[in-house]
A and B are shown apart, each in its own frame.
Chain A
């Protein structure tokens, strides 16, 4: 089941003893099926809050999220969420880590286990199935984390600065890796990042947010005249720096 995700007039305010903070103001956007969309914005602008709201980790103050323009998203939404680090559980084997999401969602069945196994096989982790996370490299750990998320077959994938904990070289490689997997599985993806090149290299659209209270400042469709685009190859494309300048300027303009 795939479809598009519409956010309508999403507003988020935080309460504390000192008063009220308006974090997100009237955010409206439709994320189309199969697209990879990045969200960039100044730090502390509420990018991650947006993902948390979509994932149902925290409620919006007002506004509605629709699935396929019709039904409001239920609380038990089928969304995959990737955090800054892999957060693999050290005491579980790779295989047990991959099944964690299915276990929690009480979705363990011969079919889902077979699917998880097929993902492990497809992405070259089958032979590491009985190893522990501490025996894997940073890139492989991130791949295991992605498969853990994909194993629950989510309709939408949310990446929350998912590569920021990796060193630069690993990061480029993992980005490439993850991009290919996401495209192969055809997942609609929303990625939050502060890294402009990363957003350009992976996305179909880049959404630039304003400072708090967050609203959409600009949306840039990214298009490279090339076949089989990957995050690494498009970095060499002449359009890359043009996109970079545009997004950079949009971010820094008042």
Chain B
């Protein structure tokens, strides 16, 4: 009797959990539909001026037109720039952080410079980058690199320096040198830090790329947005922003997936 009662309590628990989940998803979809339909309706009824606000149907038409033209090239260019900036920023940042961990002297010397560079809005570097690197893809990638580099250095360095000192002591009791300490404990125990940095960096790198594309470019989603604004084609601007949002979340989720796979396969507690 009690067994059956327990089972039904369990079933009720599971059913409630499932219902809750469903209601969240249903609400999310409803909000999206409400916005799209409301927007479309207001535009159709001429309550809002779709020349300024665009409308879902016009955006869809623009999307179809863009698709038959060179939308994929623009998306590809933006993704490529983001990924290159992301990889460079992460690798260079981690290397520099390792160097600063290695030498506490350098770390202390450079800390005020890092703080200043870290708090500086990187857009301000735009003109300098264009003059130094030239207008074009290298400038945009440099911008993306600038945005993610300092954050990576600071995060990785603070992860490295807060490695459990007792674990380091344990290695030293076996006579470990500095390189062994780094490769056997300091770096591996900061893989979770690195994975979190990746998550932050993919977003930052995209900020850098779009900023860069605003300043100089002939391709990319940022270029489409700026160009659309300049020629007062809000359809193009709105459509590009939506596509950018989708691309950004795909990239972000790819990194999250990567993080999950790595954590699962190697027992890092996160």
Contact = CB atoms under 8 A, between A and B. Distances in A.
A168 interface: no
Interface residues of A, number: 22
A89 B188 contact: yes
Contacts of A81: 170, 173
Among all A-B residue pairs, the 7 with the closest Cβ atoms: A81-B173, A104-B174, A87-B170, A101-B174, A104-B176, A132-B267, A87-B167
Contacts of A89: 167, 184-185, 188-189
Contact of A83 (B169, B185, B267, B268): B169
A104 B171 contact: yes
B221 to A, nearest CB: 39
A100 interface: yes
Contacts of B167: 87, 89
Contacts of A84: 166
A91 B174 contact: no
Contacts, number: 51
B112 interface: no
B180 to A, nearest CB: 5
Contacts of B175: 56, 76, 104-105
Contacts of B172: 57
A57 B169 contact: yes
Contacts of A87: 164, 166-167, 170
B266 interface: yes
Nearest to B269: A90
B59 interface: no
Interface string B23-62: 0000000000000000000000000000000000000000
Interface of A: 55-57, 76, 79-81, 83-85, 87, 89-91, 100-101, 103-105, 132, 134, 152
B191 interface: yes
Interface string B153-181: 00000000000101101111111100010
Contact of A91 (B170, B171, B176, B191): B191
B169 A105 contact: no
A79 B175 CA distance: 10
A90 B174 CA distance: 18
A87 B167 CA distance: 6
Given A83-B166, A89-B167, A100 B269 contact: no
